[in-house]
Amino acid sequence: MNFKPAFAVSLALLLGVSSSVWAQPAGDDPEWTEAEVPPPPAFDVGKLILLDASPNSSLTFGVDPASIHISSRDGIVRYVMVASSASGARNVMYEGIRCATGEFKTYARYSPEGHWNAVSNPEWRSMYGNMPSKHALRFAKAGACDNAAPATSVQSLVKRLKSPNSGTAY
């Protein structure tokens, strides 16, 4: 094919931008601010939608679809994630994913005594960094994110989670 130089440069810039969108630190958009975080929602471990298991993990991860909220104010997908071991031990986290930057944040953890404990000073962390979050990344790829944008609705996100081959998150 014979491309004009301006088109080739535009294409290269477009490809460069699309491949680097996940690598941007949260501070790159000076206009963005996180909305006030709602309190952790109730969850039901009997209604979890399980995420594809990682072959290297002894844990299974699931999200309660009733806990998912997509904020139109800041673009954060917030949810309750449950990690379960084969012995029945559970870790439950209230988290958020910022699709625009490929980051996640843990807001609170559920205690064995049955109440939420807020994480002191929660910070955005890369899903790809030195300490990656395999479950947050799996959730993002399963449908929480459409490339650098959050899913268009909770309903479409839940549909993708229930039938992962029906849509393409990436």
Domain with 40, as residue range(s), is 28-163
Residue 7 inside a domain? The answer is no
CATH number, residue 138: 2.40.128
What DSSP character marks residue 103?
Answer: E
Residue 36 inside a domain? The answer is yes
CB 118 within 8 A of CB 108: yes
Q: How many domains does the chain have?
A: 1
Q: Where are the beta strands (DSSP E) in 23-144?
A: 49-50, 60-63, 69-70, 76-84, 90-98, 103-110, 116-118, 125-126
User: pTM to 2 decimals?
Assistant: 0.77
Question: In tens digits, what is the pLDDT along the chain, a chain of 170 residues?
Answer: 443 444 333 333 333 433 334 444 444 677 889 999 999 999 999 999 998 766 677 888 999 999 999 999 999 999 999 999 888 889 999 999 999 999 999 999 999 899 999 999 999 999 887 665 788 999 999 999 998 999 999 999 999 998 755 444 43
